[in-house]
Amino acid sequence: MRSKKTSFASSLSNALSGLVHLLRSERNFQIEVAALLLNLVLIVVLEVPLLKTLMILSVCLLVLFAETLNTAVEKLCDALHPSHHPIIGLVKDLCAGAVLLCAALALIVGVVVYYPYVAALLLR
């Protein structure tokens, strides 16, 4: 059985619709997008070099990616098993842990990249 192929424009529209849904409904995703925007401002204002900029943007997008998957798994788990179930709870906790690990990496990269700029401002 062959599945119906969708156009690139349709696939892109569906993906953007999912991201808009996340932005409208998920508080953590909103906070993480705000952190990305703050980082974009800092990158421009501090004139962060390209490689360090790529590091910052990569970890920011990694956190957003993890949050997106976490939300998808939570929605699927809730649809499949609406009442409390210990295995479903564990799956949700594992996904949340993955987001936490990505956020920890982002924090470490942020400290390493921004530390010289902050130190220079404080030592003026």
- Feature table: binding site: 26, 67, 74, 92-93
Report the alpha-carbon distance of residue 20 to residue 17 in Å, rounded.
5
Q: Are 60 and 40 in contact (CB under 8 A)?
A: no
Q: Calculate Rg over the CA atoms of the chain.
A: 18
Concerning whether 32 is annotated as a catalytic residue, the answer is no
Q: What's the full length of the chain, in residues?
A: 124
Is 48 in contact with 56 (CB distance < 8 Å)?
Answer: yes
* Residue numbering of the annotated binding site for substrate: 67
Catalytic residue among 22, 67, 102, 113: 67
List the binding residues for ATP.
Answer: 26, 74, 92-93
| Helix 27-46 / helix 50-80 crossing angle, nearest 10 deg | 180
Binding-site members for a divalent metal cation are 26, 74
Active site (catalytic) residues: 67
